[in-house]
Structure 1
Amino acid sequence: MLTDNIQLLPVDILVNIFKRLNIKDLHNVMLSCKIFYDLIKNDNTIWRPLARNRLMIDLSDSSKSNELWFYRCRTSHNWCKGYYQSKVVINHYTNYMPWLTFHKSEILLVSVGSELHCYPTNRKGFPNCREALWKVDVPKIQRQDVRTHDISRFVIKNNYIISGNRDGCLAVYIANNPRKRPWLQYHIQDCHGNGQKEVTAVEVLDSRNQIMVVTGSYVSNDLRFCSFSKEDNSNTTYILRGDEPNIKSISFYENAGTKCLALSESSDKLAIGLNGNSKPLVLDVYTPQFLMTADATKNPKQQIRDIRWHDENTILYVTHSGVLEMIDVRAREVVYNSKDPFQSSFYCVKSDGQWGIVAGSAEYSRCVLFDTRNQMNHVQMYFTQKKTSPVYSLDFDPYRLITAVDRGVAVLNFNITAASEQQKDYSHIFY
């Protein structure tokens, strides 16, 4: 029987037709009726071929297996075109330099001065910062100088929270359930220079029977390796000093310091961002021998402010001069290079392990989105808050970007319908 109603065609034939359309035509078909809208939206076979090599932010390890590709394509489009909703979720009246991590997109950990706060997420995955799950105040030592007791950096990994503090100490917490208040297992006092130098970088290596905490200071030319047993279940807090026999050190050249550390996914290589150099070092943690050095780029006016592993063989880092670079540690060559559009310093960086990179700038609470497939220009800029502060720390997943500035934390939500929000497009500024 002849019919001119396309809706009466079998579903598999309709899907085959829709697979042959481009994204713009698909959008127009979805607007034609609810039946087509639901069919196109819920069929991943339509969107997957279109988006496989186009997604901007793709953290597949944090994505749900039943996630619709329609939402992934929509949020990727919003990241690139500047469609998002911004909300300040934490606001205070004291200037801090906070550090944060959005752990597994389930809880938000934020340092507020010398306190570490943990906030849950709601059913939509949005951080709920009205009431903290828990707060801990790291132990302090009073120093006879102008230093604060604030947390400089912390990491959460394999049921441990490691906090490096500006009073020169280190706190090791056990957090078997990150949603519950952790308990302090070790407080290591005077980590560098008999306590005269603050701890500005931390990492943790977790083996079968012990953990090893690595600490560095931007005013000290050595790394400290502290080994602890994992078998103690006595809920006892141990107070140690930086000269304990189980604490070893590795030294760099003079006038170098450690600004940041990052351990590879396989836990065999440690990337070291230096104060006094524009290139990182790479250490084999088992030997220990340096796999990559940077003697030719020593410069007291340079520093690497943040460093991450983009993948198992590539290091991503940002510098005080506003440079974003990726180095392949096998060939020891720069494979990606870009700069801040405003030629400002970068303070922090993170990648999705594929093509998307977000860097936090030193001015106007601004973040910049880069695409490793595009060596020429940035993709987009986001002014996350109405403040002139640097972005001290950031984290993101495919749907939201979280940034910490001197007086608050903001969340940018990209999982929205573009028509419902005014576009904030800064992709063509300073090309």
Structure 2
Amino acid sequence: MLLFQLPEDVLYHILSYLDCRALSRLSQVCRNLHCFVNRDAVWRKIAKEFLNTGITWSGTDAYPHIPLKERVKIAQNWCKGLCKRVVPLKWKTKLLPWLQLDRNILFLSQAANIGAYYVRQDSGRLQRNPFEIYSGHNGDVCRFVLTDSHLISGGSDGKILVHSRTSDTLVELTGHNQEVNCLDSKDGLIISGSRDRTVKIWTLTSYRPRDTIPMYDRVWSVAISPTLSSFVTGTACCENFSPIRIWDVERLECLCSLGSEFRRGAGVLDIVFESPFQLFTCGYDTFIRLWDLRLSPRKCVMEWEEPHDSALYCIQTDGNHMIASGSSYYGVVRLWDKRQTECLQFFQLSSDQVSSPVYCLRFSSSHLYAALATALHSLDFRLNPVYVR
């Protein structure tokens, strides 16, 4: 009996013992084996161990349209730091830009406007001009978020604008009297935080805040739990309480504070829920922290320290093993493997003469985009790897 004539479940079991190199060589034996080895089911176990293949800890797939073998190819380049660097956009005035990536559309804020750019599927490059511009703020856009139907932005003018992504409808929400530093939105719920030391809760159907929580400190970051029952706030840490607190959405009660040994000024600049019980934070104290919300008391279970003692402005995770972070000096982007404490790879995007923070970063399966003060940088990881052909 030939190898490919074995029952499929037996053949899957045999192939589960092979690594990338062996699978690639086996696929070159004959046409039948090539077709079988290229199936996603053969590569799923290997893909779970690599960075940014789209397979999350829960087993969901972030990039179902891309074959797993192709993603494992690119994942090797993420691990080794092999990429091509491009600067798709530049501007003359120093800004504090923000990014969101939705499939093949990149949204970029520049001063008071947010531009939507198509990302070319063949090259990952942006079209030169945005196909749509969202405007309406009287000052710079501080943060914005995307939902399936809306783009919601907070500005230095204290306003929150809700743009429909399917029509020209624009709704203005007023309530903050200083700049809206941060906001998040899920399932019609909007949470906003401001320099005016308040957090406000909104709904898409109301023009006034549903509730207001006095924070007694500037609010730098917020994030709504995937369960929609709670949200997390990150403050400037200039008062005598923890900068990270979890709140009940309905009762508006503080459920708990995370951590107790933050030094004064260790503000939390970005918060990411990876699951209902896994929370990542970063900020001025130069650490990325992973909090396990299942434990009692809830506590930090892992820490990653920025080696050059730089503040961390932003983070993003792949839902499995990878974390990407943006530092405050020289446009440094770092890639971290959660299974290690040391930085895996780093990229310096600005020159020694012109230092800029990485204000925001977003990545897909093959590209990482980082917004600096005067340019948008792109890292393309689609190079030919060594082992997978």
TM class by shorter chain equals 0.7 to 0.9
Residue 328 of structure 1 corresponds to 292
Distance 1:9 1:228 in 2: 62
Structure 1's 12 and 69: CA in aligned 2 closer, same or farther, altered over 3 A?
Answer: farther
Determine the structure 1 residue equivalent to 2:43. 47
The residue aligned with 2:141 is 151
**Would you say 1:383 and 2:378 are equivalent positions?**
no
Q: Structure 1-normalised TM-score?
A: 0.77
Alpha carbons of structure 1 residues 390 and 247: separation in structure 2 relative to 1, 3 Å = same
Q: 1:338-369 deviations in whole A, cap 9, x for unaligned?
A: 11122211100011222211111112221111
Aligned residue for 1:146? none
User: 2:93 matched to which residue of 1?
Assistant: 94
Is 2:357 the partner of 1:393?
Answer: no
Superimposed CA distance per residue, residues 314-346 of structure 1 (whole angstroms, 9 cap, x where no aligned partner)? 110112121110111232111111111222111
Q: Does residue 182 of structure 2 align to residue 229 of structure 1?
A: no
Contact between 1:55 and 1:72, CA under 8 Å: does it hold in 2? no
CA distance in 2, matches of 1:40, 1:228: 49
Q: Distance in 2 between matches of 1:291 and 1:378?
A: 33
The CA RMSD over aligned residues, in Å, is 2.9
Instruction: Give, in whole Å, the separation in 1 of the partners of 2:355 and 2:30.
Output: 45
Q: Deviations over 1:97-140 (max 9, x none)?
A: 1000102x221111001111001122348252312110122231
Contact 1:47 1:69 in 2 (8 A): yes
Aligned to 1:402: 369
In structure 1, distance between residues paired with 2:196 and 2:257: 17
Question: What does the per-residue CA deviation read over 1:345-402, in whole Å, with 9 as the maximum and x for residues that have no partner?
Answer: 110001122221111111222111112222x212211234556311100111222211
- 1:412 corresponds to: 379
Name the aligned partner's letter for residue 201 of structure 1: C
The answer on whether the counterparts of 1:71 and 1:415 sit within 8 Å (CA) in structure 2 is no
Are 1:198 and 2:179 an aligned pair?
Answer: yes
For each residue in 1:270-318, what CA deviation from the matched residue of structure 2 results, as whole angstroms up to 9, or x when unmatched? 1111111664111111222222225844643210111110211111011
Aligned counterpart, 1:164: 154
Partner Cα distance (1:186, 1:395) in 2: 27
Partners of 1:35 and 1:270 in 2: CA distance: 53
Aligned runs of 1:181-192 on 2, under 5 Å?
Answer: 182-188=168-174, 191-192=175-176
Q: Structure 1's 357 and 341: CA in aligned 2 closer, same or farther, altered over 3 A?
A: same
Kept in 1, the 8 Å contact 2:97–2:372? The answer is yes
Alignment partners' CA distance in 1, 2:186 and 2:252: 13
Aligned to 1:259: 220
Q: Does 1:22 align with 2:19?
A: yes
Higher-Rg member (1/2): 1
| Alignment-derived partner of residue 136 in structure 2 | 138
Q: Which runs of 5+ in 2 are unaligned?
A: none
**Equivalent of 1:117 in 112, 115, 118:** 115
Structure 2 counterpart SS, 1:171: strand
Mean Cα deviation higher: 386-395 or 88-97: 386-395
| Residues 1:102 and 1:360: Cα distance change in structure 2 (over 3 Å) | same
Distance in 1 of aligned mates of 2:230 and 2:214: 17
Equivalent residues in 2 for 1:354-373 (5 A)?
354-373=320-339
Aligned residues: 372
Q: Any idea what SS the aligned residue of 2:265 has?
A: strand
* 2:266 counterpart residue number: 302
Deviation of the 1:198 alpha carbon: 1.2
TM-superposed deviation, 1:9:
5.2
**Structure 2 match to 1:11:** 4
Aligned 8 A contact 2:191 2:224 in 1: no
For structure 1, list consecutive stretches of 5 or more residues without a partner in the other structure. Answer: 1-7, 141-148, 231-239, 420-431
TM-score (normalised: structure 2): 0.85
Residues in 2 aligned to 1:336 and 1:137: alpha-carbon distance in whole angstroms: 40
Pick from 36, 59, 63 the counterpart of residue 54 of structure 2. Answer: 59
